[in-house]
Amino acid sequence: MSSTLDALYAAIIDNPADRTVRLVFADALDESDDPADATRAEFIRAQIDLEGMFDDDPRRPALASRCEGLFAANWIEWWRPVCAALGLPEPYVPSRRLGARFKRLVGSDKRVPGEPYIANPAAYSIRSDEHEFTAQFYAGFPEMLAIHRFTIDTLTGQFGQWLSRAPFCRLRFTDVLSEFEWNSLDGPHLAKVTELVLDRLPGDVANFLIRTPLTGLISLKVMPLGLPSIVRGLVHNPAWAGLRSLTLSGISTPDSLCELAESCTLEHLEELTFGVHEVEESQPIGGLWSVLSSAIAGILAQMAHLYPRPVGPIRGPDYWPAFMVLSRSPVLPRLRRLRVLDADPNWISRVADMLVNAGERTENAEPFLSDACVRAVADALDPDKLERLELPAARISPVCRDELTRRFGPRVVLA
């Protein structure tokens, strides 16, 4: 790269959230008159445009498809300098020399282009099974680092270098962290992290996470496993006082929503996402069916550990008071976007639940979320600030759906 591009890339690493610098970088690439640089510039601009679009924007499919094609054709070249900076093996590129081509022809060299990495163009991501991580591109550069398992030769003890040599500012941990692992990541470099995703957040992990000075954090996505105490720790005077987006993955219990409403001190929160769903109470059953179903359900429960659920029973009416408490809190008037999802468990969880409960389900003619509690939440939102309200269509009544559509127009999404 030229000295200008080097300086701009250093600025991108220092401040990954600044999209203006990336657009200037793209302009500088265009000035080189190199077709490869022009392709990279197009990818940067296209991904930045994608960030400003909702999922249902009619322009999105064509633009996403173009980004996917560009990434599929060029990811090796774009990923190679990152590997060099981080001390990782560079992706394999077949040599054009006669001897190398002969080895590939006779099968003595079975490597595929890009090894040891595997690209997923649809997600703009690159996975290393050897090093147990996935890097995902945002706005033209690798920003998200998903850690599947800690490895001494890559992450443990070297995390600060990774964040100082590449524009990583979004972290995702797909498995439960130990305190030792988190401490190996800790340091002043964490102030650079703007997004944190924890697929599992048990209480002991939450306790030391809350004490970590993630002062630059603006987006947090966690699965708090239905514990109100964890939710309180996340939203009541945390280090990330500037948090703007909070996603509670999985099923949020009514008690957790009440805790969120009553304890939240996040004055800059603009986006809130949580899921609701019924949770059945296991019923004792007897006979041979009990033995077989319990055995099968146990196996399925092991498979379903990726989709844990809170303790039941939880019914729709249990959420009604929680929605009322939320509607009276200072949280909702600040929001630009509110997403209430139907946190439907995966098929494995549903089958396990059905087996344990002998296939019995309680049908209820009432809507899962009452008209009164949905209206209360809608009334609490600031109509001048609201950009998007997403609610589960199957969980509210047709009358309420029609009312919300008339009231908010295209800003309401009934998914």
**In a domain? residue 311:** yes
Residue 81 and residue 121 share a domain: no
**In a domain? residue 276:** yes
Residue 44 and residue 148 share a domain: no
Q: Please, which residues have CB within 8 angstroms of residue 158's CB and are 6 or more apart in sequence?
A: 87
Question: How many domains are there within the chain?
Answer: 2
Q: Which domain holds residue 397?
A: 117-414
| CA 128 to chain CA centroid, nearest Å | 19
Residue 174 and residue 81 share a domain: no
Residue 360 and residue 214 share a domain: yes
Residue 133 and residue 37 share a domain: no
**In a domain? residue 187:** yes
**Sign for the pseudo-dihedral over CA of 294, 275, 262, 376:** negative
**In a domain? residue 109:** no
Question: 196 φ, ψ to 5°?
Answer: -130, 130
**In a domain? residue 343:** yes
**How many whole angstroms separate alpha carbon 135 and alpha carbon 138?**
10
Residue 260 and residue 139 share a domain: yes
Q: Please, which residues have CB within 8 angstroms of residue 281's CB and are 6 or more apart in sequence?
A: 312, 313
**In a domain? residue 224:** yes
Residue 150 and residue 30 share a domain: no
Residue 132 and residue 84 share a domain: no
Of 72, 88, 104, the domain-final residue: 88
CATH number for the domain that contains residue 153: 3.80.10
295 burial via Cβ count (<10 Å: 0-12, 13-18, 19+): exposed
Residue 78 token pair: 């774009």
Residue 267 token pair: 């004055």
Of 37, 68, 88, the domain-final residue: 88
pTM: 0.86
Tens place of pLDDT for every residue, the chain, 415 residues? 689 999 999 999 999 999 999 999 999 999 998 999 999 999 999 999 999 998 889 999 999 999 999 999 999 999 999 999 999 999 998 866 665 555 556 565 667 899 999 999 999 999 999 999 999 999 999 999 999 987 766 666 678 889 999 999 999 999 888 878 888 888 888 899 999 999 988 888 888 888 888 999 999 999 876 689 999 999 999 989 999 999 999 999 999 999 999 999 999 999 999 999 998 875 554 454 455 555 555 554 444 445 567 888 999 999 999 999 999 999 999 999 999 999 975 544 555 555 555 545 455 568 999 999 999 999 999 999 999 999 999 999 999 999 999 999 999 999 8
Residue 47 and residue 139 share a domain: no
Residue 308 and residue 174 share a domain: yes
Residue 81 and residue 128 share a domain: no
**Spatial contact of 157 and 183, defined as CB atoms under 8 Å apart:** no
331 burial via Cβ count (<10 Å: 0-12, 13-18, 19+): buried
Of 67, 88, 109, the domain-final residue: 88
**How many whole angstroms separate alpha carbon 26 and alpha carbon 7?**
13
**How many whole angstroms separate alpha carbon 19 and alpha carbon 38?**
18
**How many whole angstroms separate alpha carbon 128 and alpha carbon 132?**
6
**In a domain? residue 401:** yes
Residue 316 and residue 273 share a domain: yes
Question: 47 φ, ψ to 5°?
Answer: -70, -35
**In a domain? residue 100:** no
